[in-house]
């Protein structure tokens, strides 16, 4: 009779399991509900429970029954979100696919014990701060608390429920996916949070990474391979540890306001300045024991500091320099972390040959085989009209370009000026066309009743002639949704300023002819001499490039130069502040994403 009752229970269990897998309708997907793919996987691949399942590797039927009970507990959590731990944000769809593909088998539990790979995972998560991340985001404290409870019960000779084992296994899996996503792709999608920011998200199959790392029993190496591989990222990671050591040692003292120091100055403020520059490695520590005199060595050290912070390198401590010196160590640490995050928004490879513009640095770099072969100053968009962050391919140049005035400039600047002075457009060599088509007819501005014109509904197009418009003599085209490009300028004097936010979004370059020579290098019919000759003719001309050249417009406020020195820049568009707010708004335990 006991034998019959046992098999009655087995048949009932099989019937219930069949109904769960086949007949329960799939509900609309929520944040923690399984997808249709995992439903199909569960239906097709979950093994039946009971003694009909043959033991593997000499294991007893009881051990096999316990194993399948864990599978059922995992299934229950995937379907109903049961369990003691809420899934980490972003881990749910990856977790569903992962357990579906492995037929609900646990990943981290073996023979009623946590595997050594789980211990490796926990160790990497505990060290997440090395990557500018926070271990609390991956619930390491909760994992270790549950693990401690499990070990305590086992040591006391008590059994552990399959529900607890399932909780622990899924917590570890969630942590792997959450950490893997954050360290490889970033804690957030900037395209959803920042105006005019198009991310270049990396493509990483974390389910495949986890499966392969479990097969190879090397989860640690798999996780350590996920961060960006750029040397610049590794440098920031090293400097992050250095700045944290500085913070642990007390940071640096504040230099009082309205303190102006220069060569020849004396006093306690000079001593404070020396200590500050020693901490940031701009001044040799030997200088501390000399005196409180501002000498030539201190002047050189201050110039190095100013260069690294994008300031006028005059070797004197003015107000701007004092603010940079007093910028707290805690904020510098956060700044490094934010810029590590931005490197995760870039693709795996930038290519062997490309142009990069760093907006806060007001500078353009020409790179070949990871070596900067040319750089030049730039002028970028005003804070009200910021230069967008994006990537596209440069495909042609335009010599002696005309300028199609953007609607915003027409509405906000041109029309008000024409209403005051009807001859304004003629004096500025600006023509009006009936529409934006290529065959549009030119219109005499005197035939328009400007008093009745609505700036927001202006139906015409304005074009300024070559040679007199802000684009100068050459523009570099990489067609994009923002209608932003690189170009020459008629306002050369702006390059002498340290802060260069004067454009309507486009990027003005300091040495356009040198850049033009480089981008045309692969075309033997073009030389710098021919380029200058064609420009002198004054005729508009389009020159196609032999090969497209990637152009990356990025926003970094902390990075390393080619000599291995860290640089910091002002957050000119308040993107650092915005990033901090967005991360705090997230649902992570640390408030960091």
In 362-414, which ranges are continuous DSSP H helix?
407-409
pLDDT per position as a tens digit, 283-296: 999 888 778 899 99
pLDDT per position as a tens digit, 479-538: 999 999 999 999 999 999 999 999 999 999 999 999 999 999 999 999 999 999 999 999
pLDDT per position as a tens digit, 191-246: 888 878 887 878 899 999 999 999 999 999 999 999 999 999 999 999 999 999 99
In the 3-class helix/strand/coil scheme, how is 502-535 assigned residue by residue?
EECCCEEECCHHHHHHHHCCCCCCCCHHHHHHHH
pLDDT per position as a tens digit, 85-115: 555 556 788 999 999 999 999 999 987 788 9
Q: Is 213 exposed, middle or buried (0-12, 13-18, 19+ CB in 10 A)?
A: buried
Task: Give the whole-angstrom CA distance, residue 398 versus residue 401.
Answer: 6
For position 82, what pLDDT does the model report? Answer: 52
pLDDT per position as a tens digit, 373-395: 999 999 999 999 999 999 999 99
For position 286, what pLDDT does the model report? Answer: 85
Does residue 187 carry a pLDDT above 80? yes
For position 78, what pLDDT does the model report? Answer: 87
In the 3-class helix/strand/coil scheme, how is 412-461 assigned residue by residue?
HHHHHHHHHCCCHHHHCCEEEECCCCCCCCEECHHHCCHHHCCHHHCCCE
Does residue 165 carry a pLDDT above 50? yes
Q: What is the mean pLDDT of the chain?
A: 86
What percent of the chain is modeled with pLDDT above 90? 68
What's the average model confidence in pLDDT over 424-447?
Answer: 92
Look at the pTM and tell me if it is higher than 0.95: no
What the chain holds in terms of domains, given with CATH numbers, is 2-227 (no CATH), 350-400+470-556 (2.40.440.10), 403-465 (no CATH)
The H or E element containing residue 486 is strand 486-487
- Spatial contact of 401 and 471, defined as CB atoms under 8 Å apart: yes
pLDDT per position as a tens digit, 32-60: 344 455 555 555 444 443 333 333 344 33
What's the average model confidence in pLDDT over 445-451?
Answer: 90
In 113-267, which ranges are continuous DSSP H helix?
116-126, 140-155, 162-185, 190-193, 206-216, 219-224, 231-248
Banded model confidence at residue 252, pLDDT cuts 50, 70, 90: very high
């Amino acid at each position: 009779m006991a034998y019959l009752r046992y098999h009655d229970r087995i048949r009932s269990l099989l019937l219930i399991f069949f109904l769960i897998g086949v007949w329960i309708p799939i509900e609309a997907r929520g944040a923690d509900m399984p997808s249709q793919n995992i439903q199909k996987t569960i239906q097709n691949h979950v093994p039946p429970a009971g003694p009909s399942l043959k033991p593997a590797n000499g294991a007893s039927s009881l051990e096999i029954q316990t194993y399948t009970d864990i599978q059922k507990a995992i299934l229950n959590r995937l379907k109903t979100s049961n369990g003691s731990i809420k899934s980490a944000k972003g881990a749910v769809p990856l977790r569903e696919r992962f357990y579906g593909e492995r037929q609900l088998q646990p990943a981290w539990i073996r023979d009623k014990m946590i595997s050594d790979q789980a211990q490796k995972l926990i160790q990497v998560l505990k060290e997440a701060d090395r990557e500018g991340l926070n271990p609390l985001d991956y619930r390491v404290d909760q994992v270790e608390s549950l693990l401690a409870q499990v070990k305590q019960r086992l040591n006391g000779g008590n059994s552990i429920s399959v529900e607890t084992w399932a909780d622990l296994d899924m917590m570890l899996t969630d942590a792997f996916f959450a950490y893997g996503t954050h360290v490889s792709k970033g804690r957030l999608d900037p395209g959803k949070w920042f105006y005019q920011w198009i991310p270049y998200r990396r493509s990483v199959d974390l389910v495949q990474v986890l499966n392969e790392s479990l097969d190879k029993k090397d989860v640690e190496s798999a996780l350590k391979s996920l961060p960006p591989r750029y040397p610049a990222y590794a440098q920031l990671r090293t400097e992050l540890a250095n700045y944290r050591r500085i913070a642990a040692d007390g940071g640096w003292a504040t230099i009082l306001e309205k303190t102006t120091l220069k060569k020849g100055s004396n006093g306690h403020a000079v001593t404070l300045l020396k200590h500050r520059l020693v901490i940031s490695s701009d001044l040799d520590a030997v200088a501390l024991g000399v005196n409180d005199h501002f000498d030539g060595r201190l002047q050189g050290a201050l110039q190095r500091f100013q260069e690294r912070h994008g300031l006028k390198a005059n070797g004197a401590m003015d107000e701007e320099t004092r603010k940079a010196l007093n910028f707290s160590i805690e904020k510098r640490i956060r700044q490094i972390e934010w810029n590590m995050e931005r490197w995760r928004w870039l693709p795996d490879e930038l290519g062997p040959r490309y142009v990069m513009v760093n907006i806060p640095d007001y500078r353009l770099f020409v790179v070949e085989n990871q070596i900067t072969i040319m750089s030049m100053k730039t002028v970028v968009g005003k804070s009200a009209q910021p230069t967008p962050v994006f990537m596209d391919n440069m495909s042609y140049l335009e010599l002696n370009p005309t300028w199609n005035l953007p609607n915003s400039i027409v509405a906000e600047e041109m029309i008000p000026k024409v209403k005051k002075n009807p001859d304004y457009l003629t004096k500025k060599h600006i023509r009006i066309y009936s529409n934006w088509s290529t065959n549009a007819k030119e219109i005499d501005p005197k035939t328009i009743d400007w008093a009745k014109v609505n700036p927001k509904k202006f139906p015409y197009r304005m074009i300024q002639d070559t040679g007199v418009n802000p684009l100068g003599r050459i523009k570099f085209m990489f067609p994009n949704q923002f209608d932003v490009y690189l170009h020459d300028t008629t306002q050369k004097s702006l390059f002498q300023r340290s802060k260069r936010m004067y454009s309507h979004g486009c990027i003005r370059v300091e040495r356009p002819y040198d850049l033009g020579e480089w981008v045309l290098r692969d075309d033997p019919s073009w030389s710098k001499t021919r380029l200058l000759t064609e420009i002198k003719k004054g005729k508009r001309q389009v020159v196609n490039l032999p090969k497209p050249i990637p152009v990356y417009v990025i926003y970094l406020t902390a990075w390393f130069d080619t000599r291995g020195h860290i640089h910091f820049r002002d957050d000119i568009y308040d993107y650092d502040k915005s990033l901090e707010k967005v991360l705090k708004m997230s649902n992570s335990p640390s408030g960091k994403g």
